[in-house]
Amino acid sequence: MSRPDSPSCAAPDGEIASPDAARIARFRDDFRAVAGQEPAPAAPLGLAVSGGPDSVALLLLAAAAWPGSVHAATVDHRLRPESADEAAMVAALCTRIGVPHATLTRAESGVFAGNQQEAARTLRYTLLSQWAAGTGLLWVATAHQRDDIAETFLMRARRGAGVGGLAAMVPMRPMLAEDPASPLLVRPLLGWSRAELSGLARCAGAPFVTDRSNADPRYDRARIRRLIDESDDLSPGRLALAAGNLRHAEDGLEWSFARELPGRVSGTGADLTVDAGQLPYELRRRLARWAIDAVRNAAGLTHPWGDQGLDRFVSALDRGDAATLAAIMAHPAGDRWRFRMAPSRRSH
């Protein structure tokens, strides 16, 4: 459930005030640092605007920074009765400030099958990518900010995540992981706090909605958010800094792995052998995951499998034992690991 939030320092006469010049300049600098250039009529920017305070602040900043070069879209997942009204609120706000808006609506209503958050995210990025490509947009910006990084870091740390899981989200990447040519997802607000974005939206006199689930203790993120709020020792800025440092480490590991990979693979996509000799554990782990993905892709297995069980899988190979994960079987011969589809299970 969500509710409209009334601004506490509204602009005169109910107008929508532009953010101040210093914040606009900061935002332009931050965007340029991520994307390498600024939007222009020939290279317009798309915005994902849900109607929450962070995304409304993003809308106000971008509209003020690059008038005439910004488009906005709201995804209606049709999971809640009020979602259509929220999309209409964003559309009305965009009309008032001169930003073209589109509502991207899921065809069916009701809950998704499987993991709700993952399914909603996949749908959202698919619809936004299609909209951006059809509108001729180079980028789509989201309003992820510093507190999101801090909360995600703690949530994943509680689950024992590794370097990649604890690393801060990347500031720019293709919107669809499976399509490197898809429009670019950019996150220019990763250095901004939730409080300053919410304050910006309030003082502009802009309407936004507050999602009550953000305070619902049934949800992991809500519990983590409360833990941070109530602790003097858990600074969102410091947590985000730690996640950022791990992002640098993750990037370094990926760079090293990309250099090692070409000389360590033999065979075809459906029958691969990799050489894990002399590699540290983390690179052996990445090599195993890469090989599993390669064989699955060759077999046409496209559904995600995550990496649960990957450490046990690699440990088994290190011991010299055959192992199976995500429908892929690996047989070790010393440091050389052979990957193929696992035999189909037969029912009796």
Q: Residues annotated in the binding site for ATP, as ranges? A: 50-55
Q: CB-side exposure of 281: number of CA atoms within 13 Å? A: 10
- Residues that constitute the known binding site: 50-55
Burial of 36 (0-12, 13-18, 19+ CB in 10 A): exposed
∠ CA 79-224-189, nearest 5°, is: 75
65's tokens = 């920074």
323 pairs with which residues across the strands?
330
- Closest residue by Cα to residue 72 from 93, 43, 86: 93
How many other β-carbons are positioned within 10 Å of the β-carbon of residue 209? 21
Q: Name the residue among 299, 210, 120 with its Cα closest to residue 128.
A: 120
Contact criterion met (CB below 8 Å) for 247 and 167: yes
Structure tokens given for 16: 């929508």
Cα–Cα distance measured from residue 55 to residue 197, given in angstroms and rounded to the nearest whole number: 9
